[in-house]
Structure 1
Amino acid sequence: MTIEAARDKLHECMDLYDLSDIRTLEASQEMDEFVNEEMRKMMEGKKGKYDTARSSSIRSL
């Protein structure tokens, strides 16, 4: 999920559930945590994909 998509989803939820004030802040913080976790997973996946030192096929040679 991109940051823009996450932001759009947050605003969609805010409108849908009529969130405001502290509830909006809490929802925003939860969304930030979710996006950060997803971005971390994506980055770890890319590292594993291109990191040949971790490749099992290289180790078997």
Structure 2
Amino acid sequence: MALTFSDIFKFVGAVILPPLGVFLERGCNSDFFINILLTILGWIPGVVHAFYIILKY
């Protein structure tokens, strides 16, 4: 799996606001809402999930 130039911006967005990185990668679907819930529960779980989604897709 190769990373693209736009993935850099997604990772930066995921560190600042984790749902933003997921939204840029997948749009407004279940992954986005799961990430919002994880971010509310704690910032680190939201970031980990966002990185996972960005690297997976």
TM-score, normalised by the number of residues in structure 2: 0.40
Determine which structure has more spread, i.e. the larger CA radius of gyration.
1
